[in-house]
Amino acid sequence: MSAGGGDELPRWVSLALLPLINIGCALLASALVILAIGEDPVAALGYLVQGALGSATGIGYTLYYATGLIFTGLAVAIAFHAGLFNIGGEGQAYIGGLGVGLACLALGGWPWWAALPLTILAGAAFGAAWGAVPGYLQAYRGSHVVITTIMFNFIASALMAYLMVNVLIKPGQMSPESREFDPSLSLPMMHEILGAVGLEVEQTPLNLTFFLALAACVLVWFLVWHTRWGFALRTVGANEHAALYAGISPQRMIVVAMAVSGALAGMVGINELQGVQHRLIMNFQAGIGFTGIAVALMGRAHPVGIVLSALLFGALYQGGSELSFEVQTISPELVVVIQGVVILFAGALEHMFRPALARLFRPARPAAATGGAA
Amino acid sequence: MTDGATPAPHPYAIELVGIDKRFGPVHANRDVTLRIAAGSIHGLVGENGAGKSTLMSILYGFYQADRGDILVGGRTARIRTPSDALALGIGMVHQHFMLVEDFTVLENLMLGAEGGALLKDGIARARAEVERLEKAYALDVPLDARVADLPVGLQQRVEILKALYRGAEVLILDEPTAVLSPPEVVELFRILRALKAQGRTILLITHKLKEIMAVTDAVSVLRQGQVVAEFRTAETNEMEIASAMVGRRAELTVARGASTPGEVLLSAEGLSVTDARGVDRLRDASFTVRRGEIVGVAGVAGNGQSELLEALAGMLPVSRGRFVLKGRTVEAGSRMNPAEARALGLAHVPEDRLKLAVVKAFPAFENAVLGYHDDRALARGPRLDWPGVVARTAGLMERFDVRPRQPRLRTSLFSGGNQQKLVLGREMERDPDVLLVGQPTRGVDIGAIEFIHRRLLDMRDRGKAILLVSAELDEILALSDRILVMCGGEIVGELAAEEANEALIGRMMAGLARQDGEPRDGGAAA
């Protein structure tokens, strides 16, 4: 029956207007919070935008944060296309970073460009393994992937704490950090790259990995929408019975999709460790895996959307820390609240305004369905 | 009007006058006027999308008409919700039953009419009233049985009882026979006639013209949202009604030449399929399908036909026995990967196309290659050649008359019949040697049925082996060279086309007869 369907929106409404309305509501709710503690919301918003986008340094940090979020956003999106909700990006990023770190420690003295393929491989392999195990448990044992990936986040955290404190710690110091990677392994920083072509910018953590993230977007887009594997992946995600009918093994696809998802999350380690920290530390991935879920949801699990929402969340990270620095009464915790409100409206309540918009735009619907027999 | 005198009984139970309804650009009902004589059985026929369901939904309060009036017993009525309709004495028996499976029959009947916060009194009152109704209409249903344990024929009676219990004077039945075996249909018609004899009015929506002829007093034909013809059943015939439905002379049966069966392409020996709970869904099926023949599988839906098709297509493992597809044997305890089966030249049109054969969220062109995406001809390097696939799909839509001809349109926006043609086209254009096809014309228009039947016979004549599962006996009889009859997961008989007739197959389907036509011991159709 054609009436009451209600989920058919013109593309531009679904892709542009709806996210904008959601962000608008999030800003409004944040403004109320800021008003409630007696600050001026307009000024606060000004600090936030200024901090994130007002200077080359701000933009650099925003893009640096966005880099990690693109990877974890893509990771969640790939799993999402296979019908899986991968909550374990956090743990997969953490363990992927372990792989990157071990590779860097082993490859001391190699030039970065020679080591990079191997460190990428190591990070991807570690992350993939951490994703594939919950995938296997889902596919062949029926343990729900949401539960198991959450559990794997805790296991990853405990495992890393053990390794950092007992095994990988640099001898003769208190803080759980590995020895520094060989300087030759450090990825080029963005200010160095731009400096080489004659552009002077401030030093920020933004590095070569940002381009890797963009390349990963293209790769995911190509894989999901233009290959047989992607077709099989989307079929499993949309209708498992039809996948079986088509000769695709849903079980195998679930394991592989979770592995690819974990591999993408593992790339966070390239950005944070080989790019910025130059040693293995604890909790370098803090929150990037979780925020990736919101990034993927808001970006509609599409690489273009993911880049845009990663930029938004990167700007919130960066602008938020500027904001709490500038306005003493706005603590970093309150900034987390503001980020949470954005996640709430853009992620969890993503479809709240959909029915209303659908009613508004209904006359524009295509004339395909008929009012025929039930 | 206001003098309080008893009004004379109005000749029409229901009058729909000038009903007009649009859904956006779709004009579902155009100025429809329909008068249903009180105490009659009135048939409403039309192809998919002709507007039958919309019209009934307006009468039952699911939708509001844009224009037009509804008169109940001569009085203008405003029906905004189904409960308004119920209050006016209009009850509906849906095609898909609206019953709580875990409740008993009595609990289902009381649902929404419990009669107070405490159930005790309500139950006693309901039981007395329902028993009275059962007696009045000879509607035997065990009141304390769980609905899930009842066969569909009885579940349908529960639906009818439910409407009567709510005081329905007018009963709308939407495709009531779709799920019934032939003896159950006979039983239903007996009940309908009993209801009519008691003065109730029945509106029967169906696409089976035989049933219209068998049970109705008058029939209205809808086409493209309009009433295009009205007949007194006694003064018309199937051909006349069918022609009115499609707007041209309709061919009800396709001419079928003699078959020339060749080598065996598909055979099964003691093939069994067991479900997760250890229940045999298919038991000891043995048969062969040869080149150049159509083997029909008759049976009421849910008697093992789906499992038969899915096991042969490689979707379910064989639990006992074996089958041989073009020389490849699949033994008990294994299954053939559907992709391997396709590579061997098998194509499968499943019974439940929405669940198995298409991904509703995908555009049509993606579904046009589902199952064949590993075909090298569709690839360009590592990529799937989507522009090429779109072009192919456009051709397929042309050849199989899929409407609208928009390969990029989302599959869920096509009507059921057009989705079916897309699936049939995908599987038949691969030119398979063995075609498994379930319910090929379910939900498909009369014009398209003719087309699909022609294509199937054409494949047979080109030396393909076809296994056809259908709940429509007419279809089985029209196409099959041999007929297997299934009941309770078993093949209860195999008949040559010449010796088959509807009555015999019907009794076998209901489990009342075996191959030799003798009644089965203790032959209840449970």
Instruction: Sort out which chain A residues have CB atoms less than 8 A from B364's CB and list them.
Output: none
How far is Cα B374 from Cα B364, in angstroms, rounded to an integer? 18
Q: Are residues A371 and B26, on separate chains, in Cβ contact within 8 Å?
A: yes
Average pLDDT over residues B461-474: 91
- Map out the domains of chain B as residue ranges: 12-246, 251-345+433-526, 360-431
| Chain B 432-471, residues with CB within 8 Å of chain A CB atoms | 443
What residues 197-236 of chain A have any CB closer than 8 A to a CB of chain B? 222, 226-228, 231-232, 234-235
**Confidence band (pLDDT; 50, 70, 90) for B94?**
confident
Closest CB to A228: pick one of B314, B379, B443.
Answer: B379
Cβ contacts of A226 on chain B, cutoff 8 Å: 383-384, 386
Chain A residues near residue B96 by CB distance under 8 angstroms: 374
Place of tokens 């309908």: B192
> Where are the domains positioned within chain A?
71-301
Closest residue to A228, CB basis, from B350, B373, B413: B373
B12-246 and B251-345+433-526 share one fold: yes
For residue B413, the model assigns a pLDDT of: 83
Q: What pLDDT shows up at residue A311?
A: 95
Judge: A246–B23 Cβ closer than 8 Å, yes or no: no
Cβ–Cβ gap A370/B28 under 8 Å: yes
Query: What is the distance, to the nearest Å, from the Cα of residue A173 to the centroid of all Cα atoms in its chain?
Result: 33
B371: contact with A, CB 8 A cutoff? yes
Stretch (H or E) spanning A336: helix A332-343
**Would you place residue A105 in the very low, low, confident or very high pLDDT band (cuts 50, 70, 90)?**
very high
Instruction: Specify whether the CB–CB gap between B60 and B53 falls below 8 A.
Output: no
ipTM of the complex: 0.83
Q: Judge whether A42 is closer than 8 Å to chain B, CB to CB.
A: no
Q: What is the CATH number of domain B251-345+433-526?
A: 3.40.50.300
pLDDT digits (tens, 9 = 90+) for B215-245: 999 999 998 888 999 999 999 988 888 888 8
pLDDT band at A367 (very low <50, low <70, confident <90, very high): very low
Q: Is the dihedral of CA B3, B7, B13, B16 positive or negative?
A: negative
Predicted confidence at residue B7, as pLDDT, reads 52
Contact (CB<8Å) B409/A244: no
Both structure tokens of A54: 């007002």
Q: How far is Cα B349 from Cα B356, in angstroms, rounded to an integer?
A: 9
Rounded Cα–Cα distance for residues A87 and A145 (Å): 8
**Mean pLDDT in residue range B517-526:** 41
- Contact between A272 and A285 under an 8 Å Cβ cutoff? The reply is yes
Determine, for residues A235 and B370 on separate chains, whether the beta-carbon distance falls below 8 Å: yes
pTM of the entire predicted model: 0.80
pLDDT band at B54 (very low <50, low <70, confident <90, very high): confident
The pLDDT of A243-265, averaged and rounded, is 97
Strands B328-330 and B67-72: unpaired
Structure confidence at residue A99 (pLDDT):
97
The architecture (CATH level 2) of B12-246 comes to 3-Layer(aba) Sandwich (3.40)
Amino acid at residue number B304: G
Q: Compute how many other C-beta atoms are within 10 angstroms of the C-beta atom of residue A248.
A: 26
